[in-house]
Amino acid sequence: MSIAVSTKGDIFLLNTQSTSYAFGIDHLGLVRHLYWGRKIEAVDDFELPELTEVSTNDPVFEITPEEFPVHGGLRYKEHCLKATFPDGTRELVYRYCGYDVEKGEDREELVIHLMDDHYAFFMDLRYKLYPQYDLMERSVVVRNQTEAPIQIEKLHSAQFHIPYENLNFSNVHGHWGAEQQRFVQKVSYGKIVIENRRGISTHNHNPYFVLDQDATETDGQVYFGALRLSGNFSGVVEQTQYGETLVQMGLNSHDFLLELQPGESLEAPAILCGYSDHGFETMSQNLHRFARDHILREGLRPVLYNSWEATEFHVTSREQIKLAQKAKEMGAELFVLDDGWFGERHSTQNGLGDWYVNEGKFPNGLEELVDAVKALDMKFGIWVEPEMVNPKAQLYQDHPDWIYHYETRVTDTSRVQYVLNITKPEVQEFIYNMLDNLLTRYDIDYIKWDANRPISQTGPQRDVWYQHIQIIYDIVKRLKEAHPHVLFEACASGGGRIDYGILGIFDDFWTSDNTDAYDRLYIQDAYSRIYPIKAMRAWVTDCPNFLSGRVIPLTFRYHSAMMGTLGVGCNILKFSPEEMELSQKMIALYKDIRPIIQEGDFYRLDNPSADQYFLYEYLKENQGVIFAFLPQSKVGHRGTTIRLRGLDEQAQYTLHTSKGDMIKSGSYLMYHGLELKLCGDYASAVIQFEKNP
Ligand code: DGJ
C-alpha cells in the first residue's frame, strides 16, 4: 500500500517504489512535515514531538515545518495562502477535519481536509502518488461555502521542506532566442525567487525547482518539483534560520486577486515532485517516463518541414508547393505553412485577427496547397496566433473593445500587436469558431499555435494572469474533442511556453527560435533535465545561422536536431544535390532510431576528456543510440571515452561504428567505455547499438 496511516491516526506516510514522504497533525493542529527521502516503511517509527519556541521572537508557528502555511498569526515566513473575508479579516486559521484516500488504477491519492476555524472556507491538501515513477503530485483545492465572495490574494500549491542547508538550486534563465540557459547557485540565508509576470511563462525562468547536495548525474540527493502551469508563476526557495531549506511554488501573487464566489472552488496547479538519491539522471528519467505514459499524447512525432525560415511572411501557393515537393523528396512527413498566409499579413504590421486566406498569395484558395501536400502523402500543418490582433486588422476596427486595456490609458503594442481579452465569452467563441472552421473546411493535421508578446494593461480584473491561460487550455481541449486527429504545437516566440501545464494540453513544443546547432546543445541539455525528449522539437536550419552567424556543417546540424523531434526549416529549394542526398540519409536514419529517441531513456554521459565533447545515450529495450559532438578540438586533439549507462552487464552488445561493427559486453561498455576520437571543428557522430540475442 502506498499510503499508510499511523496507529494513532495522526501521521501519514506516502511511499513510492523507492521514496517516502511523511507528515502529521501535531498537538496544535498544524500539518507538520516530517520526512522526504529514501524509503522507510514503518509509519509508526515517525514521531511528532511538541516543538518549543526558541524565544518569544521565534514562535512555534515560525519553526514548525508546515505543509501548507497560511497567512496569519505569529507566522512571518512565506505563506502559501492569503485570503480576505468580506468583513475585512485577513487572517486564516485552519483546523484539521479528517482525510480521505482515493484509489485510481495506477495511483493513490490522499486528501487532507482543513477548514477555517470561523468561516465556511475549506482547504483540501491533495497528494497524488505515482509509485512506479517515484513521483507525487501535490496541489490544494480551496472552497468557499460562505454566502459572500472571498478574495484570494495568494495561492501557492504546496510547501516542501528539505532538512539541509547549503544546497544547490538550479533552474534556467534566458530570453527570446536564448531560452533554457541552465544556472546553478548556492542557497544561503535569504530567499531566491523565480517568477514570471508576463503572462507568457518561460522565456526567462522555468516553473520548476531542483535542489541538490552536490549531486552528479548518477550520485547524490536531488529534490525536485515542476509546476503544472503556463502563465504567471512564482517560486521561492529559502534557507531558514532553523536549519532547513523550504521551497514553494504556485500562482504569482503579483497584480493578482481572484474573487472566489459562494459555492466556488479553485484548484491550485499541481506540482509534480520527487526525490532521487541517485543524482539527476533518475530525476530526469522518472519525469520523462511519467510524461510519456501519463501526460503526452501517444505516438511518435512526425518529421516536419516548416517554411518559416525559408520564406518568412512572403508565402505564395506556388513556392510553398515547391517546398512541399522538396520536403517530401527529403523524407519529411508533415509540411507546416507558418506565418503570412492570412489577411493582409505581409510583415508584422497587419493581419493578426483577420483569419481569411490571402487571395493574392493563394489565388486558387488554400485548397491548392493542402491538396498538393496531401497528394504527396504528407500531413498538412498551419500556423496561427489566435490570442492576438494587429491594430490595423479589420477585427480590431470592428471590435476595439476586444483587447486587454484600460479606458484611460494608451495600450502598448509589442510586435505591433495587442492581446485579445479572452476572458470575454464573445472573444473565446471567435477564437474557437475561427479554428473550428479552419479545421472543418481544410484537411489540416497540425496547428502551430504561436503567441509573440507578453500581456499588459489587463484591465480591471486581477485574475487575468491566471484565467488567460486556463481559457486557452479549454479552447484547445474543445478543439481536440471536435478534431481528435489534429496535433497542436505550443510555440510562444520560440520556447515561451514550456512547462508541465502546457505539456498536458498540447502535443508538440517549440523549444526555441535559436536553431544554431551548437547553441542548441546547451538548450537541449538543460531542457532534457525536466522535459521529455518527445516534447523537444528541433529543426535543422540554414547557415550562416540567422542569430549566431555561425556556419556549421550540415551533418552536425542534423545530429544536433536528431536529439529531439526532428524538423527541417532550411530553404530546401536552394539545396545542392549533395545537401539533398545528405538530408535524405539523415532523415532515413532518424526514422530508424526515432522510437529510441522519442520513447527511450535518456542519459547525459560524462566526458572524461579535456576536449569539450558532448555525449548522450538513448536506450529503449534492446536498442540504443549514442550521440557525440565535438564543437572545436583543442591543442592536443584528444579523444574521449564514452562510458554508457543502463546496460545489462552480462549481455553482449553490437555497436555500429564508422570503423565497422564491434561486439563488447555491457560491463565493458559501462566501466571501461568506448574510445572515440573526433577531429576538426563541429565534428559529430551517431552510433547505433543493440543487445545481442
Ligand atoms: C515565432 C515563432 O517562434 C517562429 O517559429 C515563427 O512561427 C514566427 N513566430 C512567426 O511569426
Query: For 446-462, what is the HEC assignment?
Result: EEEECCCCCCCCCCCCC
CA–CA distance, 353 with 398 (Å, rounded to integer): 11
Cell numbers 578540438: residue: 633
Per-residue pLDDT, 200: 84
Count other C-beta atoms under 10 Å from residue 22's C-beta: 21
CA–CA distance, 58 with 63 (Å, rounded to integer): 7
Q: Which three cell numbers stand for residue 44?
A: 509508526
- Rg from Cα positions in the chain: 27
Count other C-beta atoms under 10 Å from residue 627's C-beta: 22
Q: Which three cell numbers stand for residue 432?
A: 474557437
Mutate to test the pocket of ligand 1, among 200, 388, 452, 512 (most ligand atoms within 8 A of CB): 452
Q: Tell me the torsion sign for CA atoms 340, 346, 348, 350.
A: negative
Mutate to test the pocket of ligand 1, among 179, 202, 339 (most ligand atoms within 8 A of CB): 339
Half-sphere exposure of residue 14, counting CA atoms within 13 Å on the CB side? 31
φ/ψ bin of 286: left (φ > 0), alpha (ψ from -120 to 50), beta (otherwise): alpha
User: Which one is the CATH code of 304-602: 3.20.20.70, 3.40.50.12280, 1.10.3720.10, 3.40.50.150?
Assistant: 3.20.20.70
pTM for the model: 0.97
Q: Which atom of ligand 1 is nearest to the CA of 383?
A: 7
Distance (angstroms) between ligand 1 centre and the Cα of 337 equals: 11
Chunked mean pLDDT (size 10), the chain, 693 residues: 93 98 97 98 96 89 96 94 98 97 89 98 98 97 98 98 97 96 96 95 93 98 98 96 95 98 98 98 98 97 97 97 98 98 98 98 98 98 98 98 97 98 98 98 98 96 96 98 98 96 97 98 98 98 97 98 98 98 98 98 97 97 98 90 98 97 98 96 97 97
CA–CA distance, 258 with 466 (Å, rounded to integer): 9
Catalytic residues: 450, 513
Q: Which three cell numbers stand for residue 115?
A: 477548514
Answer whether CATH 2.60.40.1180 is correct for domain 605-691: yes
For ligand 1, atom 1, name the residue with the nearest CA. 493
CA–CA distance, 273 with 270 (Å, rounded to integer): 9
Distance (angstroms) between ligand 1 centre and the Cα of 552 equals: 22
What is the 8-class DSSP label of residue 32? Answer: E
Cell numbers 516543538: residue: 51
Per-residue pLDDT, 114: 98
Distance (angstroms) between ligand 1 centre and the Cα of 648 equals: 44
Which residues are paired to 624 by β-bridges? 619, 689
Sort 8 into a burial class: Cβ within 10 Å, 0-12 / 13-18 / 19+: exposed
Residue 586: its H or E element:
helix 577-599
Q: Which atom of ligand 1 is nearest to the CA of 448?
A: 7
Q: Could you give the C-alpha distances from 342 to 61, 347, 469, in angstroms and in order?
A: 59, 11, 25
For ligand 1, atom 9, name the residue with the nearest CA. 493
In three-state secondary structure terms, 559 is helix
Q: Which atom of ligand 1 is nearest to the CA of 312?
A: 10
Distance (angstroms) between ligand 1 centre and the Cα of 400 equals: 25
Q: Measuring from each residue's beta carbon to the nearest atom of ligand 1, which residues come in under 6 Å? A: 308, 338-339, 383, 450, 452, 491, 493-494, 510, 513
CA angle 250, 253, 256 (to 5 degrees): 120
CA–CA distance, 444 with 347 (Å, rounded to integer): 24
Distance (angstroms) between ligand 1 centre and the Cα of 450 equals: 7
Distance (angstroms) between ligand 1 centre and the Cα of 584 equals: 26
Distance (angstroms) between ligand 1 centre and the Cα of 366 equals: 20
Cis status, amide bond into 544, omega within 30 of 0: yes
> Which spans in 377-463 are helix H?
394-398, 425-441
Distance (angstroms) between ligand 1 centre and the Cα of 493 equals: 6
CA–CA distance, 379 with 184 (Å, rounded to integer): 42
Sort 58 into a burial class: Cβ within 10 Å, 0-12 / 13-18 / 19+: middle
Q: At what angle do helices 279-290 and 517-530 cross, to 10 degrees?
A: 80
What is the 8-class DSSP label of residue 689? Answer: E
In three-state secondary structure terms, 190 is strand
Cβ contact 31:11 at 8 Å: no
Residue 268: its H or E element:
none
CA–CA distance, 419 with 401 (Å, rounded to integer): 11
Q: Which atom of ligand 1 is nearest to the CA of 513?
A: 3
With helix as H, strand as E and coil as C, how does 34-92 read?
EEEEECCCCHHHCCCCCCCCCECCECHHHHCCECCCECCCCCCCCCCEEEECCCCCCCC
Per-residue pLDDT, 372: 98
Q: Which atom of ligand 1 is nearest to the CA of 492?
A: 3
Count other C-beta atoms under 10 Å from residue 632's C-beta: 11
CA–CA distance, 245 with 191 (Å, rounded to integer): 10
- How do strand 660-665 and strand 652-657 relate by DSSP bridges? antiparallel
Q: Which atom of ligand 1 is nearest to the CA of 348?
A: 11
Q: Could you give the C-alpha distances from 331 to 271, 335, 403, 587, 590, in angstroms and in order?
A: 39, 11, 42, 6, 10
Distance (angstroms) between ligand 1 centre and the Cα of 618 equals: 30
In three-state secondary structure terms, 215 is coil
Q: Which atom of ligand 1 is nearest to the CA of 510?
A: 3
For ligand 1, atom 11, name the residue with the nearest CA. 339
At position 52, the amino acid (one-letter code) is: T
Cβ contact 589:686 at 8 Å: yes
Sort 623 into a burial class: Cβ within 10 Å, 0-12 / 13-18 / 19+: middle
For ligand 1, atom 10, name the residue with the nearest CA. 339
Half-sphere exposure of residue 282, counting CA atoms within 13 Å on the CB side? 24
Q: Which atom of ligand 1 is nearest to the CA of 306?
A: 5
Closest CA relative to residue 553, chosen from 685, 687, 688: 685
Q: How far apart are the first and last CA of the chain?
A: 37
Mutate to test the pocket of ligand 1, among 342, 385, 493 (most ligand atoms within 8 A of CB): 493
CA–CA distance, 354 with 625 (Å, rounded to integer): 46
CA–CA distance, 19 with 312 (Å, rounded to integer): 50
CA–CA distance, 432 with 430 (Å, rounded to integer): 6
Q: Which atom of ligand 1 is nearest to the CA of 338?
A: 7
Q: For the chain, what are the domain ranges?
A: 3-295, 304-602, 605-691
Distance (angstroms) between ligand 1 centre and the Cα of 588 equals: 27
CA angle 382, 383, 386 (to 5 degrees): 125
CATH class of 3-295: mainly beta
Mutate to test the pocket of ligand 1, among 383, 387, 509, 514 (most ligand atoms within 8 A of CB): 383
CA–CA distance, 122 with 105 (Å, rounded to integer): 27
Closest CA relative to residue 320, chosen from 302, 308, 332, 303: 308
Mutate to test the pocket of ligand 1, among 491, 497, 509, 547 (most ligand atoms within 8 A of CB): 491
For 579-607, letters b (16+ CB in 10 Å) and e give eeebbeebbebbeebbebbbbbbbbbbbb
Distance (angstroms) between ligand 1 centre and the Cα of 339 equals: 7
What is the 8-class DSSP label of residue 678? Answer: -
Distance (angstroms) between ligand 1 centre and the Cα of 446 equals: 15
Mutate to test the pocket of ligand 1, among 200, 338, 514 (most ligand atoms within 8 A of CB): 338
